Structure 1
């Protein structure tokens, strides 16, 4: 399916069903660019278990502020629209897989 993108307008709809991992990022952020291929690999391996989507914090300030995202990358895992766990900074694929797997 591939990593998708969400916006302030589509966010609520995009996270309402199942597990959704949201990457709060910006194009100018070096660590965010380092994380992108990890998320692509994770999507290939776990795309049937969780949706992976990205939210550009510069273009979508409403959702970023609502979840008090102060540094990026911030990853928040949602289950049926509710935030259940978050991580900040570049993460390994293994750490992200473990986070998703324990909430299946």
Structure 2
């Protein structure tokens, strides 16, 4: 299992209604740091597949959800549990830092 693309249209069903935590990576095609962390998020998604779903939202294609959650800088990762945003991490980081942050929040 790898990361899942999510849009404004399916955000409710994919993220807010999920029965397990969902980490949403807000990104854009033109964002260099976003591209840098993408492989790390893919690996984390596979390694923690039983604990968390990792979803990616392109802020250029979907604008409602990023606006609702005040996304102003990317990459921004927001962890949702039971339909609530419970933690966030701004900026690129090595896989080890991303994974330890995520695991500490789960």
Give yes or no for TM over 0.5: yes
Secondary structure at the aligned position of 1:55 is classed as strand
Instruction: Give unpaired runs (5+ residues) of structure 1.
Output: none
Q: RMSD of the alignment, in Å?
A: 1.1
- Where do residues 1-104 of structure 1 align in structure 2 (5 Å cutoff)? 1-15=1-15, 16=17, 17-104=19-106
Count of aligned pairs between the two proteins: 104
Give me the whole-angstrom Cα distance separating, in 2, the residues matched to 1:44 and 1:2: 6
How many Å separate the matches in 1 of 2:50 and 2:83? Answer: 17
Q: State the TM-score, normalizing by the size of structure 1.
A: 0.93
Deviations 1:28-74 (A, max 9, x none): 11111001001011112111110000000001000010000001100
Q: CA deviation at 1:18?
A: 1.4
Contact map agreement 1:50 1:100 (CA 8 A) in 2: no
> 1:31 aligns to what SS in structure 2?
helix
1:93, CA displacement in angstroms?
2.0
**TM-score normalised by the chain length of structure 2:** 0.91
Unaligned 5+ residue runs, structure 2?
Answer: none
Structure 1 segments, 4+ long, off by >3 Å, are none
